[in-house]
Amino acid sequence: MERFDAIVVGAGPAGSSAALTLARKGFSTLLVERGRSPGVKGMFGGRIYSWALHDLLPDWAKDCPVERFVVRENLAFLTEDASLAISYDSPKLGQGRASSFTALRAKFDAWLAKKAQEAGAMLVTGIRVDDLWREDGRVRGVLVAPKDRVGADLVVIAEGATSILTRAAGLKRDLEPREVSVGVKETIELPVETIQERFGLGEKEGAAFVFAGQASLGLRGGGFLYTNQSSISLGLVVSSEDLSRKKIEIQEVQNRFRLHPAVQRWIRGGKVVEYSAHLVPELGAGMMPRLWGEGVLVAGDAAGFLINNGYTFRGVDLAIASGVAAAEAAEAARAAGGMSAANLAGYEKFLRARNVLTDLERFRRAPLYMKNERLFDVYPRLLMEIAERLYTVDGSGKPRLADIILEEATSADVPKLKMLLDLLQGARSM
Amino acid sequence: MTDGHILEDKSHFHGVWVFLEGRAGQLRDVSTQLIGEGRRLADLRGTPLTGILPGHDVDALAREAIGYGLDRVIVVDDPILEIYRSRPFAEVMAQLIRRQKPEIVLFGASKNGRDLGGRLHAILETGLAADCVKFDIDPEGNLDMIRPSFGGKSLAHILCKKHRPQMASVRRNVFVAPPHNPDRRGEILHERVELSPKDVDATLLEFDEFTKDGGLRPEEADIVVSGGYGLGDPKNFQLLQALADRLGGAIAASRKAVDSGWVPKTLQVGQTGMTVRPKLYIAVGISGAVQHLAGMQESDKIVVINIDPKAPLFEIADYGIVGDLFEVVPELIRQLDALKGGEVGAQPTLPAEVR
Amino acid sequence: MSVLVSGMRPMRIIVCIKQVPKAQELQVDPVTQTLKRVGVPSEINPPDANALEIALTLKDRHAAEVVVLSMGPTSFDESLERAIAMGADRSVLLTDRILGGSDTVPTAYALSETIQKIGGYDLILTGEETTDASTGHVGPGIAGHLALPQITYVSEVQIVDGTVRARRTAEDGTEWWQTKMPSLCTVNFGCNKPRSPTLTGKIRVKRGGVIAHWSCADVGIDPKKVGLFNSPTIVAKVDTIRLPPRAGRMFSGDARESVRALLDALIRDRVIVP
Ligand SMILES: Cc1cc2nc3c(=O)[nH]c(=O)nc-3n(C[C@H](O)[C@H](O)[C@H](O)COP(=O)(O)OP(=O)(O)OC[C@H]3O[C@@H](n4cnc5c(N)ncnc54)[C@H](O)[C@@H]3O)c2cc1C
Ligand SMILES: Cc1cc2nc3c(=O)[nH]c(=O)nc-3n(C[C@H](O)[C@H](O)[C@H](O)COP(=O)(O)OP(=O)(O)OC[C@H]3O[C@@H](n4cnc5c(N)ncnc54)[C@H](O)[C@@H]3O)c2cc1C
Ligand SMILES: Nc1ncnc2c1ncn2[C@@H]1O[C@H](COP(=O)(O)O)[C@@H](O)[C@H]1O
């Protein structure tokens, strides 16, 4: 039988980072990916905050398949046909540890997996791990149907949001609808020049948009738009509880979102070349699975390491950092005599050191905050109506700003105190 | 074991040979078709046409074969040759060819013909073109052996310039068997080839004959209704039979339907099955792999019924219906009945079990 | 597990496989009238995969070593690796520039020599034919060279008391043949479902050392007997088949309407008479 010191399941950002670090630390490491190649099964694109990559591969920028560095952040509130946007421009956004960039997962994941291979990990693609091999209360390797098994002292589960193995290992219970959102994403092709001209961007510069309000038809969630080199990633993340309550399909929400004038102006003339849908765990630190067991660790989305507060969407950076922390925990456990749960418990400490748990805890209120429908429906509408009255000059005499706000707020069916609380809560969780 | 025949003694090779296959006292149709084409080639080259018939007690068959246009038949008689066996048959052919040096040797592209030709060409180290559909003689007097390549997307001209004999296997049903003339005269020669029991290196334990239901054969029918893997179940071929019955046609099948054990091998259309050229070929639940096209693309009219609008077979259809065969075929039967009987809306007599 | 041959070593099965372009994706270039091969994905010649599956099934049942053999350029490694990942023990690629352009005579000769070099074989399996050359001559050609018993067009192979029993699909029925070992069988396309690669198999491929590359000199193949110039046959030219134009009319939607339209058309064309 084939044996390794460590097997990592899933060559997403978490898995490849774990495998890379394990290999560097001298573990014989097998990285197993069910897709034909890493990233083909994943979501196509998005934005990656680079700090974790800095730590893992200091010279990552040399050959990392970056689409564009984000230099402009936009936040837009939508009603049926109007939009109000806040835009933040800063060259600093695109530089250093705090930079973020857009990437296509098929390229990015393949690149990161290659780095893991270069560090000495063995990558096997096109194989789905069907179960963990468990014996005498500990994980001993992985099983592939019908009767194939490969042994290891440690298995790192980095299977992403589906978390089938995590549940099979008894580390996590089934998620309830209120704990998951559904993400969709379309990749829309446009010529490089069109993108740069339309968004007013330089060659490697990119823009990121977050859309609230009617983007998700008022359901909890929001929309996003990122510019890639010659395509646009356009998508939504929407509460699956709301979707099923309103009996509406996510595709339908996306279709309406795509047709919104505030979106159309950016994607006009483009061709949808790719569509994908994916689960997004909305756990928050309070509901995380157990992160370690006898001979097993969980990293990335499988562990629920995801921050979605409506304005920033972070998963890949936390996945990378948690993958590294998993390898550090393994190293410490090896020094302590083996991959027992007790020895692997150091994982928590390493996650904290890399700010994964700390950030998650800080944003723990975000999921709750996101459950506040007013933020996604009532307030955007309110803001918009104020804007409309501010900017509509029809000769009927222009009221003072303060009067407008007061008038609108009272008519918006939200008691004033409640509104104040919402705003406070929002500010705290961000 | 090997002995190549190269350029130097090319001129020593004369005559056209056809390998004859018999079965139950009858010549196979591919053999009679071979005699027709062999006759044409022998006349073009101005040489005699010889049939080769290894077997046991086959003189009657030899006489019959002459009636199709042979000048002579060489019979090798041995009990070992009673049934087809690769090694002794190849041994016999190799020895005869070395002795008599024919210029051209043709085989039927049957299972046994290919089994024999493949072994023999390696022993003799000479060229063998498989599954030919046409022949010519090139200006230098070489046999131009023409065969489909890549599942019938193109035709390749194969020449064997330096080696002799030039050998080819011939696809069944592309050449027409000449009329039989019982009065035709020809020679029957008995040749001896030394065979020993050790040439019998394989034993036939069992033979399970394909059942011939006596129905109309697809290769003889004007209309063929052919079913593929899309039928999903053997019993659904009854539905196709019901349609074929209304059209006075025969049923046939794709290889995947045959390999699934739904219908006998004898109904397989395609590169490794039969070639059909009916007036109307109705393909039901067949995707249209190149190997299938090879057997039916020369049909006069092609109708395709498939649920997948992207099925490749639509590309060569005269008429295509995109739809579920389980709706379309019963409807077709119903409307045909209405046309015939004049009674609109009459229920087709479908087999009770269908789907 | 039973050890079959001479009670000493497990039997050795050699499977000849060829890598071919996926037939369905081949198109004729409308301009040059030649087949467009570049960019077409490759696969193990489908009947050869069925032959490999038979070998692996025999290996599951009896102690056996499965050796995969191919002749061709090093790009064929892809298929040999797949065969290993499926469960073959090792593979040999006969690869040499002088083999280029070989027809079935040199191919059968060169493969036979390589089989002898591998040695110790009990059973040789090939596919019934390739999808690119589709002659079916190489298998029987190898048997001819090595003077082995041959059973062609088989769908099932059993090893019984040290003999081979194979079910052959003949013209008029199925036959069960029995021969001694060593012998050669050619295997029908579609007679089984080739297994998928396993994780263990893919790991073996990654660990390396599973494919041996041999040149003609390594095997002792006579250079005067292989390659384009030593092949008896040449392809003088290739004609594209121009099929008669077809109406290409498509009916979809309501079955009743589609069928009516079809019957109208067929009656108009006088293909069927009302
Ligand atoms: C619509 C949407 C938009 C997003 N946008 C962003 C964004 O802009 N920025 C950001 O940082 N994050 C974003 N995320 C989140 C981000 O994609 C994830 O947090 C991140 O990919 C998690 O990485 P991972 O390695 O844990 O899991 P994944 O990337 O999901 O990787 C898991 C891998 O494991 C493989 N796998 C799974 N099961 C098995 C098995 N049994 N055997 C073998 N292989 C297996 C999968 O094929 C996959 O390759 C977005 C998510 C969604 C759904
Ligand atoms: C060496 C070799 C030789 C071969 N020789 C031959 C040969 O001689 N003859 C031959 O036919 N093949 C041959 N093949 C096999 C060939 O490659 C294909 O595998 C085979 O033709 C496919 O058969 P099919 O179209 O019935 O099945 P599939 O390809 O599975 O197609 C089934 C079709 O049915 C359709 N369908 C499914 N359900 C419905 C429904 N309810 N209503 C309508 N349509 C439906 C599907 O859309 C699909 O197009 C050979 C292959 C090899 C490698
Ligand atoms: N280059 C090759 N390498 C290995 N095996 C081959 C090669 N060519 C043909 N074969 C084998 O011979 C069989 C018949 O091939 P063919 O005669 O080309 O139709 C194939 O199914 C293979 O098993």
pLDDT of B18 strictly over 90:
yes
User: How many C-beta atoms lie closer than 10 Å to residue B288's C-beta?
Assistant: 23
**Distance from the alpha carbon of residue B333 to the mean position of ligand 2, in angstroms:** 24
Chain A residues near any Cβ of chain C (below 8 Å): 1-2, 30, 32, 122-124, 126-127, 129, 142, 144, 148-150
Q: Between A335 and C133, name the one with better pLDDT.
A: A335
CB B159 within 8 A of CB B138: yes
Q: Do the beta carbons of residue A117 and residue A123 sit within 8 Å?
A: yes
CA dihedral (B287, B290, B296, B300) positive or negative: positive
Query: Cβ of A124 and C206 within 8 Å?
Result: yes
How many CB pairs lie under 8 A apart between chains B and C?
A: 272
Higher pLDDT, residue B107 or C132: B107
Asked whether residue B344 carries a pLDDT value surpassing 50, the answer given is no
Mean pLDDT calculated for residue range A294-303? 94
The pLDDT value given to residue B74: 98
Q: Is the CB of A195 under 6 A from ligand 1?
A: no
| Mean pLDDT in residue range B210-214 | 74
Domain ranges of chain B: 10-199, 218-339
Calculate mean pLDDT across residues A262-271: 94
pLDDT tens digits along A198-209: 999 999 999 999
Q: Cβ C131–B291 below 8 Å, yes or no?
A: yes
C-alpha B325 to ligand 2 mean position (Å): 15
The interface predicted TM-score (ipTM) is 0.87
Tokens of A153: 């002292």
Fold of B10-199: Rossmann fold (3.40.50)
> Are B10-199 and B218-339 the same fold in CATH?
yes
Q: Which residues contact C86 (CB under 8 A, 6 or more apart)?
A: C52, C56, C194, C195, C196, C197, C198, C201
Residues of chain C with pLDDT under 70: 1-8, 26-37
Q: Where are the domains of chain C?
A: 4-225, 243-274
Give the E-state strand segments of chain C in sequence order: 11-16, 19-21, 27-28, 35-36, 42-44, 64-71, 90-94, 123-127, 150-160, 163-169, 173-180, 183-187, 211-214, 233-240, 249-252
> Which of C13, C15, C17, C18 should be mutated for ligand 3, with most atoms under 8 A from CB?
C18
CA A201, CA A373: separation in Å to the nearest integer?
34
Q: How far is CA C102 from CA A35, A47, B163, C16, in A?
A: 38, 54, 15, 16
Residue C194, phi-psi category: left (phi > 0), alpha (psi -120 to 50), beta (remainder): beta
pLDDT computed for residue B341 by the predictor: 74
> What would the CATH number be for the domain defined by C4-225?
3.40.50.620
Residue scoring higher pLDDT (A235 or B214): A235
| Residues A40-60: tens digit of each pLDDT | 876 667 899 999 999 999 999
C-alpha C202 – ligand 3 centre gap (Å): 25
pLDDT at B160: 96
Give CA–CA dist C221/C240, Å, rounded. Answer: 36
Cα separation, B92 vs B81, in Å, equals 9
B187-213 residues labelled b (16+ CB within 10 A) or e (exposed): ebeeeebebeeebebbeeeeeeeeeee
Whether C199 and A144 lie within 8 Å, measured CB to CB: yes
Map residue B251 onto helix, strand or coil: strand
How confident is residue A75, by pLDDT bands cut at 50, 70 and 90?
A: confident
Residue C194: CB atoms within 10 A of its CB come to 17
Reply yes or no on domain B218-339 having CATH 3.40.50.1220.
Answer: yes
| Beta bridge partner(s), residue B205 | none
Is the predicted pLDDT of residue B85 greater than 60, yes or no? Answer: yes
Per-residue pLDDT reduced to its tens digit, A12-27: 999 999 999 999 999 9
What pTM does this model have?
0.89
Of residues A119 and B8, which shows the higher confidence score?
Answer: A119
Nearest CA in chain C to B28: C171
Write down the mean pLDDT value for chain B. Answer: 91
d(CA A56, CA B46): 83
CA distances from C3 to A188, A317, C8 (A): 61, 56, 7
Give the helix ranges, DSSP H, for B80-138: 86-100, 111-124
Per-residue pLDDT for A311 more than 80?
Answer: no
Q: Convert C35-70 to b/e letters by CB count within 10 Å (16 or more is b).
A: beeeebeebbbbbbbbbbbbbbbbbeebebbbbbbb
Tell me the one-letter amino acid at B28: R
Q: Of B175, B258, B268, B255, which Cα lies nearest the Cα of B224?
A: B268
**Cβ contacts of A124 on chain C, cutoff 8 Å:** 199, 202-203, 206
Percent of chain A scored above 70 by pLDDT? 83
Element (H, E) at A74: strand A66-78
Q: At residue B241, does pLDDT exceed 50?
A: yes
Confidence band for A285, pLDDT divided at 50, 70 and 90: very low
Quick: pLDDT tens for B22-61: 988 899 999 999 999 999 999 999 999 999 999 999 999 9
Residue B173 and residue B162: Cα distance in Å, rounded? 30
Residues in contact with C242: Cβ distance below 8 Å, sequence separation at least 6, in sequence order: none
CA angle (B281, B286, B287) in 5-degree steps: 120
pLDDT at B11: 82
Distance between CA C48 and CA C70 in Å, rounded? 11
DSSP state of B140: T
**B225 and B251 Cβ atoms separated by less than 8 Å:** yes
Q: Is B102 in the pocket of ligand 2 (CB under 6 A)?
A: no
Q: What is the pLDDT of residue A178?
A: 73
Q: What is the reported pLDDT for A394?
A: 67
Q: Taking the mean position of all CA atoms in its chain, how far away is CA C17?
A: 5
Strand A138-144 and strand A221-227: the pairing is unpaired
pLDDT digits (tens, 9 = 90+) for A141-166: 999 998 999 999 999 999 998 888 99
Decide if C150 and B155 are in contact by the 8 Å CB cutoff.
no
What distance in angstroms lies between residue A127's CA and the mean position of ligand 3's atoms? Answer: 29
Residue B348 has pLDDT above 70, yes or no: no
Residue B145 backbone dihedrals phi, psi, to 5 degrees: -100, 115
Handedness of CA B170, B172, B174, B176 (dihedral sign): positive
Q: Do chains A and C touch (3 or more CB pairs under 8 A)?
A: yes
Which chain C residues have a beta carbon less than 8 Å from that of A148? 198-200
